[in-house]
Amino acid sequence: MGIFSNIMGKIFNHKPKDAPAAPPPAAAPAPTAAAPAAPPPPVVIDVTGILDDLAASNPQKLDWRHSIVDLMKLVGMESSLSERKELADELGYTGDKGDSATMNIWLHKQVIKKLSENGGKVPAELMD
């Protein structure tokens, strides 16, 4: 499992602490041959809501909207330079990894973009 997959899993599988338990599913009538069952609607994950929820319960003030380091810390991951370089390799970064500031900006944009491409709802201002 790659670092991005780990980030995505931690966000997409997050359950808010105060979320009510889901009610048991109601028994659906069996589909008839004349009316095939429609596929379920795609699940959209509110990335901003989840990360804001995590930030609200975190004792550190983490700026996940602008910092890949803070985003990784917020989801409970190692955010060391070596981890970020590995993430950069995974996501296809071709710039100078010695310029960590530029790499970090690129990483943050790519992670947000890829979360969006994988079913995450992300505001447009974070996609720029």
pTM: 0.79
Domain ranges for the chain, please list them: 1-13+43-118
Least Cα distance to 104 among 125, 124, 118, 87 occurs for 87
pLDDT tier, 33 (very low <50, low <70, confident <90, very high otherwise): low
Mean pLDDT of the chain: 86
Residue 94 in 3-state DSSP? coil
40-89 pLDDT, tens digit each: 766 789 999 999 999 999 999 999 999 999 999 999 999 999 999 999 99
Higher pLDDT, 21 or 112: 112
Amino acid 31: pLDDT: 57
The arithmetic mean of pLDDT across residues 26-47, rounded, is 68
Amino acid 22: pLDDT: 47
Q: What is the DSSP string of 99-115?
A: -HHHHHHHHHHHHHHHH
Higher pLDDT, 22 or 65: 65
Using alpha carbons, list the distances in angstroms from residue 17 to 7, 26, 54, 96: 19, 25, 9, 40
Residue 114 pLDDT greater than 70, yes or no = yes
